[in-house]
Each structure stands twice: as C-alpha cells, then as structure tokens.
C-alpha cells in the first residue's frame, strides 16, 4: 500500500457511500459533483460532521465520550465516533486520568431505519479498528442505534466484517489517488440515489457515441 | 431527469437586487418592487444596470443559481460564479484537451456535426411543412450542401479545415434563411447576419436569443464543473466564454433560429415591438423583450425526448444535459461527445 500523508486518509463516513455504490462515492468525493442535489447530500455530510466538540460524561461505571476523533494508520482512515462507551471492567485498558480499567464500545446513531446493505456496520467496524489501534486493545462489539424503530442493534466485529472494511478502504484510497470514477453499474438502488441526474446511469444502455453519430450521418447522406 | 426551476428576469433597468433572509428583493426608487424566494429558483437574468448586492450573488452561487447581467438591451455583460467547484480533475482534462489540436478537433467536429445536422433539418422541416409557399429547390439545395458538409466534418482531423467547413455551411444556411419567414415579410426579412449592432428586426431577435442561450450554456458548463472559458473549437481569448460558444453551436438553429421564425410566422412579435436607434441599430423594446422572454420561458418547459439518452425532459434542460455529457466524455465514460441531434 502506498503510504499516504494523514490528511489524505479517507473518512470512515465515506464507507456508506462506497458500500451503496462506488460510482456515487466517486461522484461525491473524487469529482465533487453533486449537482442540484447539493443540499440533500450536503445535509448528509453536515450531519456526518456535526459532532459537537469532544465531551465526556460520567455515569457510575460508565464513561461516555462524545465526538471522539479516531484514526487508523493501518486502514489509512479517520473519522469521528458519535459515542464511545467505556465500561469499568477487569479486562479493560487504563485511561489517562481515570481510575481503574475500562472496556470501550463504539455506538453510532443513525436517523431513519436499518439499511438493507451493511454500510452502517462497516462504518462502525471501521471505528472499532481505529479505537483498537489507538487504545491497544481488542473490541469485539459495538451498537447501532436507529431512530426508527427506537432500538439498538449489537454488531459483532467478525473477521469477515473487518476484512471487508480493510478491502473497501484500500480500494477507496486507490481510486481516490488515481482520481478514477468507476463506470455505472445501475440497479434498483439507483432510484434511491440522489446523484442520478449527475451520474446518468442510462448511459449504460445508450449506444456508443460513434454509433450514434454514424447512424445520423448515414441519414444525412440519404 | 431533473426538473427545470423558475427563472427570474429583471427587466426594469433601474432595479437593484438584494438579499433578505432567503429572498431576492427588488428595489426601485419608490421602494420594494417585489420579492422572490431563492428556493425553487434556477437562474436570474438581470437587465438592470444597477446590479445586485454581493451578499445576493454569494447566496445564488452557493445554491447553484445562475446569475447573469445583461445590458438593458440584452447584451451579455457578466455572470457571477462562486468559488469554483472542486472538480479539479475534470478541469485539468479539459485544459489538456484544449491544448492539444488533435483532441480539440475530435471534440470540435462533434459540435460542428451537430450544428450542421440541426441547421439542415430546420431547412428540411420548412420544406416539409410549407412546401407550397417556399422555394423548395433553393432550400433543398442548401440542405443537401449542409448534409454533405456534415458528413465531411465528422471525419475532419484538422481544426482549421473544420472551421472552414463550418464557415461555408453557415454562409449557405443564412443564404436561404429568409425563405423560412412566411408572414409579415415586409417588416421581417433577413439578408445578412449583423451583430454589433443588429441592423434589422430579425437580427435583433437572433442576437438577443443567442445571448440568452450563451448564458444558459455557460451556466450549465459551470454547474457541472467545467470551465466555460476554455474551448475546443473556439480558441482562448481573454473574456470570451469559448466553451459556452462551442456548446452553443449545435443549439443555435434549433433553440434560437426556429424560435425567432415561429415568433414572426405566428405574429406573436410585431414590428412595433422594436426601436430603431440613431446609429441604425434595431433593438427589441420593452414590450418586445417581455413578449420574447415570456414565449421563451414557455418553450423551455416543453417536453422532448433526448435523442441520445432517449429520455423525456424539458427543452430548457438540454444545455445542462449536453454539458453533463461533455463532462462524462472528458471523464472517460463515453467514447466521444454526443451532440444534440434534433429533427
Ligand atoms: S445513479 Fe445508480 S449507478 Fe449512478 S451513482 Fe447513483 S446509484 Fe450509482
């Protein structure tokens, strides 16, 4: 892997776009094309970044850190965790300025309902990998919290999920470095895509331009 | 496909535009003349010499609302664009191609093919629709010249030769242009293209229409992240929106020429809607400009099927879609640029 300067690391939140559609991700992050849906997407991006400055809450054996910035050099990615819960536990790690040992668990809040694809799990797992690297510990589980229904779902960070996170980030970093936008592979999910008008997924069905021009040129002669 | 939003035309030449909350407020001597929410607005054309506040321009560019300044007579002055979109890779490709005569020609011949194809079909359509009233032979002769030239242009690899083809074709097309005018022939006639200033009513309308179309094309190009000043067919010249002029070539006849001819033939525009200046210039007067813009707006909302994408859309979106297709070619999604071929 090419070593990247830290400021060029991918954001973990980009995993959502990437897992949804590689082309959508590239249109947003490589090409910065967001057309008329600027505000829809901007809304999403703002939400992703609208974490308050980091703050810590104590609740007995629970320590809650909001808006923690995390980074993984192995993944070449950074991000911000909505919430990391530290629970007092004998198999935890020591934290500077805190007595005892603490076990971390990332929790991510999502508006709306669980998605049909694994974008949220990927992002959460990415956060866990960052935390592991920063705290030198192992994290096996985290939680996704959906606004609709008001419920927590536990996510376990399996070797498969971790491998997928690493693979996707590697691919994302390499596409970004090359400035390459993958071709459209349109599907049903396009109807939920706010970049449809910029992507033009129907190009996939269109004839080549050479054929288009040639057929019109023939008609010119006739 | 995306939808066309509203366009605000500010016609009174002494209006001043400012931002108030999320609204454009139009100020005159007497106070507030009106106000319009930014939401749902696609572009603003101001024909007022008093201008607009920087805050308003900032708000418009940030929301992708095109803002164009024209003289009260409709000549293009300037267009506001904000901090450039971050699509630096696309722009660099555009510059590289613009610097390379071969690749520029590859793009330019698509524009020219589109231009000749569309002009040809304008003539053919007149023959088809009004065969009994027009000089069919003359129109047919020019149409077949355009057709043959178009086929040549598509193979051309030399930019200068290509421009030569284009010049000849334009001469041929304008030679029979007057044939397409069927009504009010005493007041509306076309002999030769005159630009600065336009010397007759037809030229006045053509100039006005081209000016609007050029602004639409420039705004469309900027909105997809291209630099409207760096062209392939038109070479760089400071202050000239060369790429907008390139893109406009294929749209002139179908967008403007036919529109002007229809206005005349259906008597929607009348001789009294023009003013003659001391220097011989002929210009649309206030009433004329209003009529022109009203019909222009209605026309933009008509539905068509895009000949390449085979998708329904509004006429007014065509410049945007063509700009997008140009960007998609530059980014390597398409093997060439597909011009808008209309018949
Ligand atoms: S329209 Fe479809 S292919 Fe294009 S970016 Fe959106 S989801 Fe991806």
Q: Is the pLDDT of residue B285 over 80?
A: yes
Q: Is B146 exposed, middle or buried (0-12, 13-18, 19+ CB in 10 A)?
A: buried
pTM score of the predicted model = 0.80
Q: Shortest Cα distance from B188 to chain A (angstroms)?
A: 31
In DSSP terms, A171 is beta-bridged to: none
pLDDT tens, N- to C-terminus, chain A (222 residues): 667 778 788 999 889 889 888 998 998 888 876 644 444 554 555 455 555 577 888 888 899 999 889 999 999 999 999 899 999 988 888 888 888 889 999 999 887 777 777 888 999 999 999 999 998 899 999 999 887 777 788 999 999 999 999 999 999 999 998 888 888 888 888 887 888 888 888 887 888 998 898 888 876 555
Q: Shortest Cα distance from B121 to chain A (angstroms)?
A: 9
Which string of DSSP letters, residue by residue, matches B286-297? HHHHHHHHHHHH
Q: State whether the beta carbon of A25 lies less than 6 angstroms from ligand 1.
A: no
What is the Cα–Cα distance from B324 to B83, expressed in whole angstroms? Answer: 20
What is the Cα–Cα distance from A139 to A92, expressed in whole angstroms? Answer: 10
Q: Name the 3-class secondary structure at B122.
A: helix
By the 8 A CB rule, do B259 and B209 touch? yes
Angle CA B272–B273–B274, to nearest 5: 90
Name chain A contacts of B65, Cβ cutoff 8 Å.
none
What is the percent of chain B with per-residue pLDDT over 70, rounded to a whole number? 97
CA of A9 to the centre of ligand 1 (A): 24
ipTM of the complex: 0.75
Picking from A6, A17, A5, A44, the residue whose alpha carbon sits closest to that of residue A123 is A17
Question: For chain A, what percentages of helix, strand and coil (3-state, to nearest 5) are there?
Answer: 45, 25, 30
Any chain A CB within 8 A of the CB of B82? no
B38: DSSP letter? S
Picking from B17, B93, B19, B100, the residue whose alpha carbon sits closest to that of residue B59 is B19
What token pair was written down for B79?
């267009």
What is the Cα–Cα distance from A199 to A125, expressed in whole angstroms? Answer: 29
In angstroms, the first-to-last Cα distance of chain B is 21
How does strand B76-80 pair with strand A101-110?
unpaired
In DSSP terms, A106 is beta-bridged to: A84
What is the Cα–Cα distance from B324 to B335, expressed in whole angstroms? Answer: 14
Name chain B contacts of A184, Cβ cutoff 8 Å.
333
């Amino acid at each position: 892997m090419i070593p990247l300067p830290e400021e060029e690391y991918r954001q973990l939140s980009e995993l959502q776009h990437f897992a949804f559609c590689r082309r959508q991700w590239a249109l947003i992050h490589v090409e910065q094309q967001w057309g008329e849906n600027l505000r829809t997407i901007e809304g999403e991006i703002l939400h992703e970044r609208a974490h308050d400055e980091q703050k810590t809450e104590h609740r007995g054996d629970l320590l809650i850190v909001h808006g923690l910035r995390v980074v993984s050099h192995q993944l070449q990615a950074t991000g911000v965790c909505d919430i990391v819960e530290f629970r007092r536990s004998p198999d935890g790690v020591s934290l500077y300025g805190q007595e005892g040992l603490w076990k971390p668990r990332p929790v991510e809040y999502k508006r709306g309902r669980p998605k049909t694809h694994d974008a949220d799990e990927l992002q959460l797992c990415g956060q866990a990998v960052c935390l592991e690297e920063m705290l030198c510990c192992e994290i096996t589980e985290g939680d996704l919290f959906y606004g609709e229904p008001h419920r927590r779902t536990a996510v376990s960070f399996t070797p498969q999920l971790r491998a997928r996170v690493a693979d996707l980030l590697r691919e994302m970093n390499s596409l970004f470095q090359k400035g390459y936008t993958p071709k459209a592979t349109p599907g049903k999910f396009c109807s939920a895509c706010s970049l449809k008008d910029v992507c033009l997924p129907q190009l996939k069905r269109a004839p080549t331009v050479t054929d288009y021009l040639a057929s019109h040129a023939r008609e010119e002669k006739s | 496909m995306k939808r066309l939003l509203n366009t605000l035309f500010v016609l009174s030449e002494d209006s001043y535009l400012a931002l108030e909350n999320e609204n454009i407020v139009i100020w005159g001597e007497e106070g507030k003349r009106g106000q319009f929410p930014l939401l749902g607005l696609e572009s603003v054309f101001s024909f007022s010499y008093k201008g607009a506040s920087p805050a308003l321009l900032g708000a418009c560019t940030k929301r992708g609302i095109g803002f164009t300044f024209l003289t009260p007579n409709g000549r293009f002055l300037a267009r506001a664009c904000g901090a450039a979109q971050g699509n630096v890779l696309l722009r660099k490709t555009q510059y590289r191609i613009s610097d390379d005569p071969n690749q520029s020609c590859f793009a330019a011949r698509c524009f020219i093919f589109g231009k000749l194809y569309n002009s040809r079909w304008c003539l053919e359509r007149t023959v088809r629709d009004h065969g009994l009233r027009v000089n069919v032979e003359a129109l047919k002769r020019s149409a077949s010249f355009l057709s043959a030239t178009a086929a040549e242009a598509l193979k051309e690899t030399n930019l200068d030769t290509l421009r030569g083809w284009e010049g000849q074709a334009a001469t041929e097309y304008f030679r029979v242009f007057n044939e397409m005018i069927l009504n009010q022939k005493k007041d509306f006639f076309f002999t030769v293209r005159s630009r600065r200033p336009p010397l007759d009513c037809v030229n006045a309308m053509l100039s006005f229409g081209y000016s609007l179309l050029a602004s639409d094309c420039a705004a469309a190009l900027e909105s997809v992240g291209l630099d409207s000043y760096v062209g392939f067919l038109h070479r760089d010249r400071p202050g000239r929106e060369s790429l907008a002029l390139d893109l406009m070539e294929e749209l002139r006849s179908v967008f403007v020429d036919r529109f002007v001819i229809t206005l005349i033939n259906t008597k929607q525009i009348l001789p009294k809607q023009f003013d003659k200046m001391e220097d011989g210039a002929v210009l649309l007067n206030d009433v004329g400009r209003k009529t022109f813009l009203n019909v222009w707006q209605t026309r933009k909302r008509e539905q068509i099927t895009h000949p390449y994408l085979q998708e329904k859309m509004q006429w007014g979106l065509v410049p945007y879609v063509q700009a997008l297709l140009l960007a998609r070619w530059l980014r390597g999604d398409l093997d060439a640029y597909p011009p808008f071929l209309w018949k």
